[in-house]
Amino acid sequence: MAAPDMDGFDIREYGASGGSDEPDTEAIQAALDECAESGGTVYVPSGTYVTGPLRVGDQTTLHLDAGATLQFVGDYEAFPTVESRWEGWNQYGFHPCLLVDDAENVSITGRGTIDGGGEYWWQFYDAPESEIPDGLQERLAEFEEKNEKQDDVSSFTHRPPLFQIYDSENVSVSGVTLENSPFWNTHVVYSENVTITDVNIANPADAPNGDGIDIDSSRYVRISDTYINAGDDAICIKSGKNAEGREVGEPASQITVTNCTVEAGHGGVVIGSEMSGDVRDVTVTNCTFTDTDRGVRIKTARDRGGVVEDLRFDNIVMRRIACPFTINGYYFMPLDSDAKPVDEGTPMVRNVSFTNITARQVETAGFFAGLPEQYFEGISFNDVRIDATRPLDATDLDPAMAYDYEQTHALFCKSIADISFTDVRIRTPGGPAMQFEETEDVTIDGLRVPDDQDAPVVSLTNVGRTRVRGCAPQSESEGPFLEASGPKTREISLAGNHGSLAAAVEIADDSDATLERS
């Protein structure tokens, strides 16, 4: 074996040639292994190096020069079976293309490209059995025999992630391009002190499960100045699924995302639906989301359990999105299901703040739904602009993937303990612009709508207490500013409004709500 030169461990000195279809796996892995014994830098010079899966060890910097590509082979036989975490469960599946496992002080740097060769794997997704090679069928059967848990997305172990950081500490990734992942692109799981900065992540729009970055039961994670064009959720935060996730009990926490650009994907920043081990202390600032289906999306369901809390989203611009704000307790569930007993499987979302956000060319202004047995709480908006005039048929997407909900342009809110809006501007092509059902406490301060906004602007059905201040009735629309109905609608308070707003409040006969003015 060649010894490293003074500048580090050059993979060419270990036999890597590049420029051919013959894998350089052994040479590259030899350089990585020797580097991990003493520490240093493994250099990948300009050129294309075909390789099987690789592991990066302790004290190692893997540096890809500009023009260098690690091209992972399209060959399921080259990927051994490993145990890892797959969509919230510890399961067996294919070895990740590039893996940092049980390691400390690792860096992936340079201006090169790490290409997962996803096209090879995507062809087998949802393919009939007759089109899947016998050997691959045997591998998949092996996984199914070893894995006790199955559900509607049990195909997640059928393809490897491109890059996984597993049970590791002090890992940084900068400069490189990560593209064409067979499964998730970049997966950070059971790790801490991870930095991802100035990275390009790209998957085609039709890449199945082509998430950009998944932060999974990890803490002290920082993502900045990164470009993501993903085939699924762009940045996703997770912490395990259902009973196993609660038993493992490793939260995703102390996470910051800043100065990131998301061009496409199913969501800009997504939390869940695997959040059973809790998600807390997340800050997202100075980002743009374009064509991302949803913008900020929190998704959960019964039996998940766990708490999502203390999240801050600030200074974000969104454009051409089906729904910019989604908090959904009914992920793949009927929206109008009856209340269930509260137990360890009942999820909670609380203390979520949206500030200084502009969302243009969106279809539905927002969707917020807690559970009837456990209302979500502490949702606030401050200085937010929403233009929800994009046609509802601009995409074939509903706001939240909850069943039995008829999509409208309105900001919809149901089963929330308290939600507030301060200095919010909203435009919808019809009324109401804001619709609240089965909600305990609503505060609206300084809501602005166009003068010709269709009435009613605000609709209340079984809302316990509503405070409205700093608002004015529309000057060019007939009908009420606020319409209230339902026997649980109790108190409507008006204070410091402009014009005769009280005259623009209409209370239905089925409600005994009182109207207070000051």
151-to-7, 182, 207 alpha-carbon distances in Å: 50, 20, 21
Active site residue 398: no
Q: Are strands 81-86 and 89-94 parallel, antiparallel or unpaired?
A: antiparallel
488-to-462, 508, 511 alpha-carbon distances in Å: 4, 12, 7
Catalytic residue (one of 158, 187, 266, 409): 266
Catalytic residue (one of 24, 211, 214, 232): 232
**Closest by alpha carbon to 479, among 439, 431, 425, 408?**
431
184-200 core/surface letters (b: 16 or more CB in 10 A; e: else)? bbbbbbbbbbbbbbebb
The amino acid present at 428, given as its one-letter code, is: T
- The residue assigned the tokens 């609503």 is 442
List beta partners, residue 288.
Answer: 261, 317
Q: Which two tokens stand for residue 463?
A: 């809302």
**Closest by alpha carbon to 100, among 45, 50, 61?**
61
List beta partners, residue 360.
Answer: 319
Active site residue 409: no
> What gap in Å lies between CA 135 and CA 129, rounded to an integer?
12
End-to-end C-alpha distance for the chain, whole angstroms? 85
Residues with a catalytic annotation lie at 232, 266
